[in-house]
Structure formats: structure tokens, C-alpha cells
């Protein structure tokens, strides 16, 4: 997402520091060195134990090597009662492919991905407080006496909100949807660049639920897109403008934005890489900013985000100005666990995990921890704070699927600053490049030849599965067989040409574990191809696995490479690695014909639907009917 344990690099030379006013940023000018400080006086800060020590710096350098991360930035905040906030910043590694490998700085800008969800939850809380205190007098719909966390979504957005489950549609409130208990699975491939927060909200009615309302925690980005639309509707401004005026500006988060062109104009935007080290463009372009803003669109730095964490450690109050930024009622609502993510502890020192509004909450070695991760192509992020201990941190990595490394950094900081027992967490990468914990003599699981079952053949020739299919919530697209010769299919097959067996070099096959072979090349693995322009993909590949089942591979193709490396590559989300499509073939008067296929990405959701139904159309995350 190789197997080497941590390598600790040499300790680096002492740091030069630059003084600034209280709570302004101060960090090392030799930016690959261990320590950066901000807040208070230099004498007071250096008389205390460092938060980012030379040992921690060496630990992070070792993680960068073992997890294959180009660059990491870190901010650590310590806030004790009655004291000035203490913040240390640092950066390790690469910001650009043209640089010397040590050009990353603490003011570098990253997309923080789903760490943006806490910003959205805070924005909703601020808006609720505005209504409660008469600062916002936007008329509410008839029969809506007040706007709070218990207000039903259908009452606030009567023309746009509806779910397929009528009871959930009428009863779901703000707390339900932001704590991920709406009953809806992710459906992340249902929206694309042409969508808006409003169109995504209206699309929900055509998407298959997984659970009953409040039955089970089920992560859903679309609800945060809907909530950004709700904020824009009742704040009478765009969601991005609301966040800028109510959070970024009061906190002096001067570099933070949602707009990649603005971030690039600062000259601080880091380049980004896949988990296997290929450079990719900044994933969210300007045309999708409002669409992705609430769920994952904040662009920021550890320099700015430590200001946000400092306010969280102060329960919503800026300790510099004593001004309330996030109302206490909103802070409490956000950080209280409303749903159970995991009812079983994953290890002895970690409690069960709950979810608030944009935050997870658990206990580590007896210390309450509130945190969230973020992951989009090119970035892996984590924001965390321990409210009872006055400790917070931000870890930003400029490669995707590196969450294990970020988590190891978080726990090491908590252990060292709070004097907890250290737990060794060596991190490496799996065959896909994803960072993973190395447990003992970790080895990838391989099937023996005897364990590999011969697949059942397709009922029809692969050409009979090609055609146009439509799903109300996902839209229409056309699947192409290798022999399809329409203008559209000729273009699609040309896009895939470098990635099909005859066009791929062995290193690509090894790196991406693509064991696809086409029927037209005499292989037993027939494949179908489509253009699928979504937020997370450009194309779609289906590879026959058994009977009428295909593996489903949403992927982003770069046939001409990107950056300095012009060789073809593709990248995909590992969350879809088990996705499949199951076709249904009908027989009538002795003739067989494809009726459609079901997409199954969330296996937990599919399993739950099987309790109530049997047909592919009913248990799938989405059903695509053949129309041509």
C-alpha cells in the first residue's frame, strides 16, 4: 500500500530559531532539524522539555524510510491551565521532486482530507449558535420552531432531502447524519466533477441504504457534503466563505484555504505522491472545491492547524484573545461519542472507539484521545488532541495510504510527552504500498496452487456483457469489450492500452498487482473497460473472477505519467480492493441475455441486506440495468 523495520537516522545539528510575538509561528530555519517553537519566550520554551526531540526526529526519519513517505510535517501543542500555549513545528523530507529531498517546511500546504470534517461540524455548531442568539435571522421553513442538532433534515431542506428509507428520511437529524448513523453506506462513486452539494443531497433518494437509521455506524462522505449545502443555505453565503470568515480569519490561519490555485499562488503547496512513489496532481481541482469542501477540502499546514488544535484544547476559546471561536455547546456536541465505531478494543492499551461529529474518541493507556484521520490520493493526515492532558498534534504526509505511520507518530508523542509506557510499532509497506504495522515476522499471505480454485466460466461470450448500463443514483456508462469498435470504445481501449497485458511492462504488473489478461489475448480472464469520471477515478476495469462475478476496479489512469516520470501508471483506492460486480443473465425462449449487474463495494452492507433479501438487485450497493 519491504518489510524493513525502523532505521533511525543520525541526530541532526542544533536548530536556529527566529523569535516572534506571542503565539505566532517560530520554527527552525534548518527545516530538517529536530525542534521548532512557537508561543511564549525563547528562554521559557527552551527551559522546558522539548516536545519534538532529536530522538523523535530520528524516529520519524526512520518511519519515512520504512513506510516510503516523501515528506512529513508535524505540529505539537501543549496547553496547561493558566499557561501560554507552547507549539513546536518541524518538517522532514521532500516537498518537490525538483528539490534536494530536504525542502519540506512546516508552512507547506496539504489537503487535510477528512480532517476537514471537524471544521464542517464546528461550522454547523456556529450556525446553530447564531440562530440561538439572534445573530442569524434567516427565515426557517414553516413549522420549524428552532434550528439545533435535533432538527430533522427534511424540515430544513424540504425540497432537496429524501432517502429511500422513508422512516429514516423523516426522522434523521443533524446529529445522526454527522455521526454516521444515517444507515447509508459510502456510495463514493456516485458523484463526480459535475455535481454540487445540492445535487449530491438530491441524489441520496436514489441510493440503496445499508442499515436502519441509528442501527450501525457507517461512514458516509455524502452527508458532510449535504451539511455544507445546509450551512450555505442558512448562512446566505457559500460554505467556503463561511469557514473563512468564522474560523480561518479569527484564528489567523492566513494560509488556510479551500482553493488549490490560491494555495499554489502562495508557493507553499506541497507536491504529492501515491503510496508507491509516483507523483500525482493535486487531486481536488478548482471546479470541485464546493463539492468536496465539507467532507475533505480544507488545505492547510501544521503551522495553521496548531492554532485550530489550541482552540480545541481550550474547549472552543482562543487563549490568546479569550474570544470564543467555537461555542462550548458545539464543542461538547462534536467531541462527545454518539455512535460506536468499534465495540471491541483492538489492543490491550486502546479502548473501544466512539464517533462524535467529525471526531473519533477513545482512550489510550487511560488517556482520553480525540482524533480524525484523512486520506485522499496524494495525502495522509491526522489531527489529534488529548483534552485532559493539554496535548495536541497534527501530522501531515504527502503520500497516500500512510495512516499507520501517522498513527505511530501520534502514539509515540503521547507516550513520550506524558511519560507513558512505550509500545514498539514498526511500520513497513504491504505489496500495494500501503503503510502497515509489522507484527513479528510479517509476511504476505500467499495461496498455494492447491488452494486456488478453478473459476467457473461466463455464461456468455465477453462481448455479450458489453453495453450501456444505468443506475438512478450513479448514472449511465458504457462497458467495452476488447473487441468493441465504437468511437467511444476505441478511445477507452486506447486509454487502457499501456495497462493491458500487451502494453504493460513487468514492473507495472508487479507494482500494481494487476493480473488482468484479456480474452482477445487467449487468456482465461475476460475483461471489460469503461470511462468513469468520478472524484476518485477516471476509468473502470472489470475482470472476470468466477461465474457471473467480476472484480470491480475503479482506477485513475495516467497513460503519459505525471511530473518528471513520463511512464504510464495508474492508482486506485485500496478501500475498493474487494469490490465486485455480479451480472444477472436471464433466459427466455432458449435465449440468454444480460439484464444488468449489481455493484458490491461495502461487504458489511451487502451482508446486512442479505438478511432481508436474496436477489442481486436487492442486496447490491447499486443495481445497473442494461439499456443498450
Cell of 290: 464546493
C-alpha torsion angle, residues 273, 279, 285, 289 (rounded to 10): 0
In order of 406, 549, 613, the CA distances from 543 in angstroms are: 34, 9, 26
Q: Dump pLDDT digits (tens) for 556-593.
A: 999 999 999 999 999 998 877 789 999 999 998 889 99
Asked if residue 239 lies in contact with residue 231, where contact means CB atoms within 8 angstroms, the answer is yes
Quote the crossing angle between the two packed helices 117-132 and 289-296, to the nearest 10°.
90
In order of 2, 254, 262, 269, the CA distances from 265 in angstroms are: 38, 13, 5, 8
What number does CATH give the domain 42-118+241-437? 3.40.710.10
Q: Dump pLDDT digits (tens) for 365-392.
A: 999 999 999 999 999 999 999 999 999 9
Top pLDDT among 38 and 83 is at 83
Helical (H) or strand (E) element with 597: strand 591-600
pLDDT at 479: 99
CA count, 13 A, side-chain hemisphere, 109: 22
pLDDT band at 20; cut points 50, 70, 90: very low
How many angstroms separate the CA atoms of 464 and 253, rounded? Answer: 56
Phi-psi region of 302 (alpha: psi -120 to 50; beta: other; left: phi over 0): alpha
pLDDT at 443: 55
Percent of the chain scoring above 70 in pLDDT? 86
Cell of 36: 521548532
**Residue 612 CB coordination number (10 Å):** 8
Cell of 259: 482553493
How many angstroms separate the CA atoms of 272 and 571, rounded? Answer: 13
Beta strand 475-479 pairing with 539-546: unpaired
How many angstroms separate the CA atoms of 442 and 66, rounded? Answer: 14
Q: Dump pLDDT digits (tens) for 62-114.
A: 999 999 999 999 999 999 877 889 999 999 999 999 999 999 999 999 999 99
Q: Dump pLDDT digits (tens) for 289-317.
A: 999 999 999 999 999 999 999 999 999 99
- In the chain, domain spans: 42-118+241-437, 139-235, 462-626
Question: Where do we find the cell 495553521?
Answer: 304
Q: Dump pLDDT digits (tens) for 450-481.
A: 556 788 999 999 999 999 999 999 999 999 99
How many angstroms separate the CA atoms of 349 and 418, rounded? Answer: 15
**Residue 8 CB coordination number (10 Å):** 14
Question: Where do we find the cell 530522538?
Answer: 55
- pLDDT of residue 508 exceeding 50, the answer is no
Handedness of CA 388, 393, 394, 399 (dihedral sign): negative
Q: Residue 449 class from Cβ within 10 Å (0-12 exposed, 13-18 middle, 19+ buried)?
A: exposed
Cell of 173: 437529524
Quote the crossing angle between the two packed helices 289-296 and 221-235, to the nearest 10°.
110
pLDDT at 625: 98
- pLDDT of residue 28 exceeding 50, the answer is no
Handedness of CA 191, 194, 197, 203 (dihedral sign): negative
pTM above 0.85, yes or no: yes
pLDDT at 81: 78
Amino acid at each position: 500500500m519491504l518489510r524493513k523495520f525502523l532505521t533511525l537516522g543520525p541526530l541532526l545539528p542544533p536548530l536556529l530559531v527566529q523569535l516572534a510575538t506571542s503565539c505566532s509561528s517560530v520554527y527552525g530555519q534548518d527545516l530538517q532539524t529536530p525542534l521548532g517553537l512557537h508561543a511564549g519566550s525563547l528562554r521559557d520554551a527552551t527551559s522546558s522539555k522539548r516536545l519534538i526531540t532529536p530522538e523523535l526526529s530520528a524516529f520519524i526519519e526512520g518511519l519515512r524510510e520504512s513506510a516510503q513517505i516523501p515528506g512529513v510535517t508535524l505540529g505539537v501543542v501543549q496547553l496547561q491551565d493558566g499557561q501560554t500555549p507552547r507549539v513546536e513545528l518541524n518538517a522532514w523530507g521532500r516537498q518537490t521532486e525538483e528539490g534536494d529531498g530536504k525542502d519540506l517546511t512546516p508552512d507547506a500546504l496539504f489537503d487535510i482530507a477528512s480532517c476537514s470534517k471537524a471544521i464542517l461540524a464546528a461550522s454547523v455548531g456556529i450556525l446553530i449558535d447564531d440562530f440561538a442568539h439572534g445573530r442569524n435571522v434567516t427565515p426557517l421553513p414553516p413549522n420549524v420552531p428552532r434550528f439545533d442538532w435535533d432538527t430533522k433534515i427534511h424540515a430544513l431542506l424540504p425540497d432537496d432531502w429524501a432517502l429511500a428509507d422513508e422512516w429514516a428520511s423523516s426522522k434523521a437529524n443533524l446529529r445522526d447524519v454527522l455521526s454516521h448513523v444515517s444507515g447509508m453506506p459510502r456510495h463514493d462513486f456516485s458523484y463526480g466533477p459535475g455535481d454540487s452539494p445540492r445535487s449530491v443531497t438530491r441524489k441520496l433518494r436514489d441510493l440503496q441504504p445499508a442499515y436502519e437509521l441509528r442501527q450501525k455506524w457507517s461512514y458516509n462522505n455524502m452527508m458532510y457534503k449535504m451539511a455544507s449545502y445546509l450551512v450555505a443555505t442558512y448562512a446566505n453565503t457559500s460554505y467556503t466563505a463561511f469557514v473563512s470568515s468564522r474560523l480561518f480569519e479569527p484564528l489567523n490561519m492566513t494560509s488556510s484555504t479551500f482553493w488549490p490555485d490560491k494555495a499554489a499562488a502562495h508557493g507553499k503547496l506541497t507536491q504529492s505522491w501515491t503510496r508507491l512513489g509516483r507523483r500525482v496532481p493535486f487531486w481536488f481541482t478548482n471546479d470541485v472545491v464546493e463539492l468536496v469542501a465539507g467532507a475533505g477540502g480544507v488545505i492547510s499546514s501544521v503551522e495553521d492547524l496548531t492554532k485550530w488544535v489550541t482552540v480545541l484544547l481550550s474547549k472552543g476559546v482562543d487563549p490568546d484573545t479569550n474570544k470564543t471561536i467555537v461555542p462550548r455547546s458545539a464543542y461538547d456536541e462534536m467531541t462527545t461519542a454518539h455512535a460506536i465505531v468499534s465495540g471491541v478494543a483492538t489492543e490491550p492499551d486502546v479502548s473501544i472507539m466512539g464517533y462524535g461529529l467529525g471526531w473519533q474518541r477513545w482512550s489510550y493507556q487511560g488517556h482520553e484521545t480525540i482524533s480524525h484521520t484523512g486520506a485522499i490520493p496524494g495525502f495522509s493526515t491526522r489531527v489529534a488532541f488529548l483534552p485532559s492532558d493539554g496535548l495536541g498534534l497534527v501530522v501531515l504526509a504527502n503520500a497516500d495510504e500512510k495512516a499507520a505511520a501517522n498513527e505511530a507518530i501520534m502514539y509515540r508523542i503521547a507516550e513520550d510527552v506524558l511519560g507513558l509506557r512505550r509500545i514498539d510499532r514498526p511500520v513497513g509497506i504491504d505489496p500495494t504500498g500501503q503503510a502497515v504495522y509489522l507484527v513479528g515476522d510479517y509476511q504476505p499471505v500467499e495461496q498455494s496452487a492447491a488452494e486456488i480454485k478453478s473459476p467457473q466460466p461466463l455464461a456468455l461470450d465477453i462481448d455479450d456483457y458489453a453495453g450501456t448500463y444505468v443506475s438512478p443514483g450513479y448514472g449511465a456508462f458504457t462497458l467495452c469489450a476488447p473487441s468493441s469498435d465504437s468511437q467511444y470504445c476505441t478511445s477507452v481501449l486506447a486509454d487502457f492500452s499501456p495497462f493491458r497485458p500487451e502494453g504493460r511492462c513487468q514492473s507495472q504488473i508487479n507494482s500494481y498487482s494487476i493480473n488482468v489478461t484479456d480474452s482477445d489475448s487467449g487468456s482465461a480472464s475476460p475483461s471489460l473497460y469503461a470511462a468513469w469520471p468520478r472524484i476518485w477515478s477516471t476509468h473502470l476495469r472489470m475482470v472476470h473472477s468466477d461465474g457471473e462475478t467480476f472484480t470491480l476496479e475503479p482506477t485513475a489512469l495516467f497513460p503519459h505519467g505525471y511530473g518528471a516520470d513520463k511512464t504510464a501508471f495508474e492508482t486506485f483506492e485500496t478501500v475498493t480492493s474487494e469490490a465486485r460486480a455480479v451480472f444477472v443473465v436471464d433466459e427466455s425462449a432458449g435465449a440468454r441475455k444480460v439484464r444488468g449487474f449489481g455493484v458490491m463495494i461495502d461487504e458489511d452492507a451487502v451482508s446486512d441486506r442479505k438478511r432481508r433479501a436474496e436477489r442481486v438487485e436487492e442486496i447490491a450497493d447499486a443495481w445497473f440495468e442494461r439499456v443498450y
